[in-house]
Amino acid sequence: MEKYLKIFQITFAQYFVYRLSFILWRARNFFNLIFLYFLWTSVFHNQKIVFNYTIDKLITYIILINIMTAIVLGTRTTDVTEDILSGNIANDLLKPMSFFKVIISRESADKIINFLFSLVEVLVLLTVFHPKVFLQPDFAAYPLFILTLIIGIAISFFISLSLSFISFWSAETWAPRFIYMTLVSLVAGTFFPLDVLPKPVYNFLLLTPFPYLVYFPSKIFISGVSSSLIWPIIISLIWCILLYRIMLIVWKNGIRNYSAYGR
């Protein structure tokens, strides 16, 4: 356990070595948050309700999305691609450590530091603009919110790691990851709540894994607990298990066919 904690600490410290790169990355996310804030406040100009949302619920939604995107979509699995292509993964596999536990240690450090900085960004927004925010009065919604957030993290991790394992067969991993991130930006609810879409489109999207990354937990926080959540939760769990199995299959087949020259 101590060796994985050390990997966590090293990964955490790396962000402060390349400070400018990390600050610019977080600045981009902060400007995106500000853009969404002004966009939706302008939509609510002279209107109290838009798409069945009040302004305080919509502002709360984009704040939650900013925080959850940092946690769910922030990842270090791209390092796996570089390790496979460079042959460094051979050294990692020879070490007396679990490959997946090492990856999880790096992921944990990445998610924690992104979460902390996203909180700072939200605090700046709240301090400067003083927007109205919504707090869910139904306390039963909070544990369900956390559960679905964990499911979203798992789904994102399994997909992203599977995309990195494509490097076992091809060096061209940028295109699949680009397509994935494009789909996430369009249909994961990162810019707007998905339930503003036409009902048939919304129902179809709920059959895909993307809404369960960030939209679904936010929706639970905003709308509370209801019987309509049962099937989406079941679907998200099915996707979580299925993507986990796919990730393992891709990993085992990749390792079986992988070869690298060592020194």
Alpha helices in the chain (DSSP H): 2-17, 19-43, 55-72, 78-86, 88-94, 99-129, 141-164, 174-187, 199-205, 215-223, 230-257
Report the distance separating Cα 190 and Cα 61, nearest Å.
Answer: 10
* Measured CA distances, 28 to 31, 76, 230 (Å): 5, 18, 36
Reported residue count of the chain is 263
Query: In tens digits, what is the pLDDT along the chain, a chain of 263 residues?
Result: 778 888 888 887 877 776 677 777 778 888 888 998 998 888 888 788 888 889 999 999 999 999 999 899 888 888 888 888 888 887 877 777 888 888 999 899 889 988 998 999 999 999 999 988 999 898 889 999 999 999 999 999 999 999 999 988 888 888 888 889 888 888 998 888 999 899 999 999 999 999 999 999 999 999 888 888 899 999 999 999 999 999 999 999 988 877 655 44
Model's pTM, two decimal places? Answer: 0.91
Can you give the residue ranges of every domain in the chain? 2-257
Query: What are the φ/ψ torsions at residue 60 (nearest 5 degrees)?
Result: -60, -40
